[in-house]
Amino acid sequence: MQKFNPAFSGSDVKKYFLAKNLKKDLPSSIVVFLVALPLCLGIALASGAELFAGLITGIIGGIVVASCSGSQLSVSGPAAGLTVIVLGAITSLGSYPTFLLAVVLAGVFQIILGLVKAGTIGNYFPSSVIEGMLAAIGLILILKQLPHALGVDSDFSGDEGFFQQDHENTFSAITAALGHFSLAAVVISLLSILILLFWPKVRQLAIVPAPLIVVAIGVVGTILFASTDYALRADQMVKIPVVGGFSEFMGLFTTPDFSQLTNKNVYIVALTIAVVASLETLLSIEAIDKIDPIKRVSPTNRELLAQGIGNVASGMIGGLPMTSVIVRSSANVNAGARTKMSAIFHGVWLLLSLLFIPQIINMIPLSCLAAILLVTGYRLTRIGLFKHMYHKGWDQFVPFVVTIVAVLFTDLLKGVAIGMLVSIFYLLRTNMRNPYFYRITNDGDKKNIRIKLAEEVSFLNKAAIQVVLTNIPRETNVIIDGSNARYIDPDVLETIFNYKHNAYTKGIIVTLENVQKHYTVPKLTNKILEDINK
């Protein structure tokens, strides 16, 4: 049973501040910070909100959510999967403060979901769908970041969809980018990719994080090209607000409009955000646990509570709704993070960069940040993964590929839903084929057929069993053996008992062995969980 413990309790404090963990978490936090910064800004832009709102969401996702979360590697922040919902909600509700009220209420709904233990829904997603989702996101990263690596950054939004709001699509955007690329951006992105791939392989150099070198080269490259005809434009650089003082900084915050508490549309938007954000979070948590080198399991109910607290805090000061985000979390894992301190530090760096070094951050070209995401995408969708899933069989490979294609051409949630439907189809087909085993022997002119039922016989197996029983020839002895069955669905039991009652009309003698008239499934109660954990 999952318990919501304090973020840093007892022996946890020592674990998070051990030197062996900090030497991994600190460099990783810089990597996540560099990946998160442009995404926070781009998602805010795509959502129709101020860029500052995206940064606020990233800061809260790093410091507040990570502190409350039980996941050691997940990183939370504004999610591209929510941009369409947010953009439509801001427009339909009429004002941004009213939308912020919906964000706060969405957080409250998530807290309720965590308290009622709704986090277990994430355990029902098959691994083939999760792997497909990861691979699809890797491909999306590659496709979406290619134009930015070429220096076409006019709409840097991190949008996950194939079709864009400007009536273009991913492929046409790449083709257009090839027609008017920036030489400076291409040089910087190519150098960045080479460093990211080969720098960590040199033991003496690996002490310094490769993404940090990439950013340094990006800044130097910007300065060197500034005096040439290939100088980078302003829209090819990172842009964050430059704050002149504390009063100006405080003036950037926006508070919710609580006078709209009676507006039913606010509750509809809040519920929509809560459901979508919770599903994305649970999928992300499941996916990140799969690529955790230590194979830890994150408490999902606690994660919903943490996300709810984060969304309440974000909405209260002008931020966007957030989820656990795969892109940043994957970058966190690939950078070698060990504990949640990496996510917390990344939130601190976002805050400090906003306060103290906005001018320096604004010198970073988006092409070198795109290179970081390109390499992250490649690692998520490596060729070896496709080979691995193919060798697991068609019932795993087909849902895997369908999920990839569906996510690419729709969005994350629709793609996963389609992948789930295909996976369920294969599950049903397998169940229908395996409700029993049989053995046929001859006793003179009479056949003896022993039908041994499987361990679990659901209503999905009813049709297959009905067909077999109907086609048993006359003058046959039939033994239906339920000794292995832990559960037989009532519909199947009705079929078996009806057959036994009427089989004499065909001269068939039916014997039931260890087939009960009623089966119950034991409930996994809190008492059982407590006994297991003793």
Query: 419 near 399, Cβ under 8 Å?
Result: yes
Which pLDDT score, from 0 to 100, does residue 434 have?
Answer: 58
| Percent composition of the chain: helix, strand, coil (DSSP 3-state, to 5) | 65, 10, 30
What does the domain layout of the chain look like in residue ranges?
23-154+184-391, 399-431, 434-513
Which pLDDT score, from 0 to 100, does residue 456 have?
Answer: 80
Looking up tokens 């309720």 gives 112
Query: For residue 113, what are its two tokens?
Result: 């979901």
What is the third-level CATH fold of 434-513? Transcription Regulator spoIIAA (3.30.750)
Spell out the long-range contacts of 187-191 with Cβ–Cβ below 8 A and sequence spacing 24 or more.
Answer: 187/221, 188/217, 188/218, 188/221, 188/222, 188/365, 188/367, 188/368, 188/371, 189/149, 189/150, 189/367, 189/368, 189/370, 189/371, 189/374, 190/371, 191/217, 191/221
Query: 368 near 216, Cβ under 8 Å?
Result: no
Which pLDDT score, from 0 to 100, does residue 156 have?
Answer: 42
Which pLDDT score, from 0 to 100, does residue 9 have?
Answer: 46
pTM over cut 0.75: no
- Amino acid making up residue 457: V
Tell me, letter by letter, the H, E, C secondary structure of 69-132: CCCCCCCEEECHHHHHHHHHHHHHHCCHHHHHHHHHHHHHHHHHHHHCCHHHHHHHCCHHHHHH
In sequence order, the 6+-apart residues with CB closer than 8 A to the CB of 287 are 130, 133, 134, 326, 329
Q: How far apart are CA 519 and CA 1, in angstroms?
A: 26
Q: Which of 241, 253, 243, 240 is nearest to 96 (CA)?
A: 253
- Span between the terminal Cα atoms of the chain, in Å: 11
Q: Which of 4, 8, 27 is nearest to 17 (CA)?
A: 8
Query: 154 near 181, Cβ under 8 Å?
Result: no
In sequence order, the 6+-apart residues with CB closer than 8 A to the CB of 347 are 58, 59, 60, 61, 62, 63, 64, 66
Which pLDDT score, from 0 to 100, does residue 169 have?
Answer: 58
Question: Which 3 state secondary structure label does DSSP give 20?
Answer: helix
| 88 burial type by CB count under 10 A (0-12 exposed, 13-18 middle, 19+ buried) | middle
Which pLDDT score, from 0 to 100, does residue 98 have?
Answer: 97
In what helix (H) or strand (E) does residue 498 lie, and over which residues does it extend?
helix 490-502
Which pLDDT score, from 0 to 100, does residue 407 have?
Answer: 85
Four-residue CA torsion sign, 199, 200, 206, 209:
positive
pLDDT tens, position by position, for the chain (534 residues)?
444 444 444 456 777 878 888 989 998 998 899 888 878 887 887 788 888 899 999 999 999 999 999 999 999 999 876 877 888 899 999 999 999 999 999 999 999 999 999 888 766 778 888 888 888 878 887 887 888 888 875 544 444 445 555 555 566 666 666 656 788 989 999 999 999 888 888 877 777 778 778 888 999 999 999 888 889 888 888 877 787 777 777 777 999 999 999 999 999 999 989 988 998 899 889 889 988 998 898 999 999 999 999 999 999 999 999 999 988 898 899 888 999 999 999 999 999 988 888 888 888 888 888 888 788 788 888 899 999 999 989 989 999 999 999 988 887 778 888 999 999 888 777 766 655 555 666 666 678 888 888 888 877 778 778 888 888 888 889 999 988 888 888 988 999 999 998 888 888 999 999 899 888 876 655 555 566 555
Which pLDDT score, from 0 to 100, does residue 532 have?
Answer: 57
Query: For residue 327, what are its two tokens?
Result: 């892109």
Q: Which of 91, 77, 6 is nearest to 44 (CA)?
A: 77
Query: 240 near 55, Cβ under 8 Å?
Result: yes
